[in-house]
Amino acid sequence: MNGPTLMNRRHVLAALVATGSSPLAFGQSAPADYPRQPVKVMLGFPPGGGVDITTRLLAQGLADSTGKTFIVENRPGAGGTLAAGQVAKAEPDGHTLFLMASGHSIAPALYKNLSYDSVGDFSMISMVTRFPFGIAVAGSSPIKSLSELMKMAREKPQSVTMGHAGVGTGMHLAGALLQNRTGVRFTEVPYKGGNLAPMAAAAGEIAAVYDNLAGMDPLIQSGRLRLLAVSSGQRWRTLPDVPTVAEVIGDSYEVMGWTALAGPKGMPAPVVNYLAAETAKVMARQDVIDRLARQGLGAVSSTPAEASRVLASEVARWQKLVREENISVGG
């Protein structure tokens, strides 16, 4: 039997908040001298993935809205920290921007020698997307719910294997937070990104997987994976029949991946506010919402202050978890 789908619905995803609703939205005129040249939007990932698709949609949307040129520049490497370091050192004139991904908030907890301050060296402009992760088991597994999976792990500690996309990824820390909150212990099996962990779960090589919903969707649709729960605080609108982790464990648990538009610290407030307002316009477009939904992503926007609060809160959250769970990139 096919599972619930992420790809064939046109709902605005559950995390769609603030789009077009802030005082900034649609109300900021362009600063007289901005931009004076093409604007570069950098990201720390290679072409083709969700962050790249988001960046290109946003850049094209900003170009359409402003009549100016926005150029996407992929700078993959060092888990996204290479691009972040280059943006942090750029002139804060608004001509170098950064499509920041949620891994940016994890990096300072894992890497002690970053060349930049993950919060203090950036001007936050707007949130851009939010999206949950999911816990799944093989379609042939006798486990039918997250409660059953946790009961098994509780009765036989560390006997249940849980795969994820690699140490320090959002999916890894989502699983670590689940264990931290409940005291249930899985044996973690890190894979090197891609679709390796979901494929291993579908083949029965591991008991369960915590991964990106969009990446698991083809396996769910084919019946090779069974989705047990999602990491959003509320049920995801495209998956109304799938419970949240919070429902199962009776906790305020929520882990969301996200992207945000940012630039170097010290950007002029008129430029920041103008870009935030233009981003709100782009993220409210139905074609952008639909395209992102097909990738399992929720289109959002925010004020610069809201985006700053999200970043600071996430950095503090992951530093605390990494410390409590003694997580290191060295294993």
* pTM of model > 0.95: no
User: Is residue 208 in some structural domain?
Assistant: yes
138 shares a domain with 123: no
User: Is residue 200 in some structural domain?
Assistant: yes
pLDDT category of residue 194 using cuts at 50, 70 and 90: confident
**Joined tokens for residue 251:** 């906790």
- The string of pLDDT tens digits covering residues 293-330 is 988 899 999 999 999 999 999 999 999 999 999 999 86
Q: What is the pLDDT of residue 330?
A: 64
139 shares a domain with 103: no
User: Is residue 59 in some structural domain?
Assistant: yes
Handedness of CA 291, 292, 296, 301 (dihedral sign): negative
* Structural domains counted in the chain: 2
* Crossing angle between the packed helical segments 103-110 and 81-88, to the nearest 10 degrees: 90
Cα separation, 323 vs 318, in Å, equals 8
Amino acid identity at 57? L
3-class secondary structure, 135: strand
Task: State which of 188, 214, 249 marks the end of a domain.
Answer: 249
Give the structural domain span for 195: 132-249
Q: What's the full length of the chain, in residues? A: 331
Task: State which of 196, 216, 249 marks the end of a domain.
Answer: 249
Task: State which of 210, 233, 249 marks the end of a domain.
Answer: 249
CATH number at residue 284: 3.40.190.150
270 shares a domain with 237: no
Handedness of CA 115, 43, 72, 40 (dihedral sign): negative
241 shares a domain with 195: yes
185 shares a domain with 154: yes
User: Is residue 11 in some structural domain?
Assistant: no
CATH number at residue 225: 3.40.190.10
Q: What is the pLDDT of residue 27?
A: 59
Q: What is the pLDDT of residue 9?
A: 30
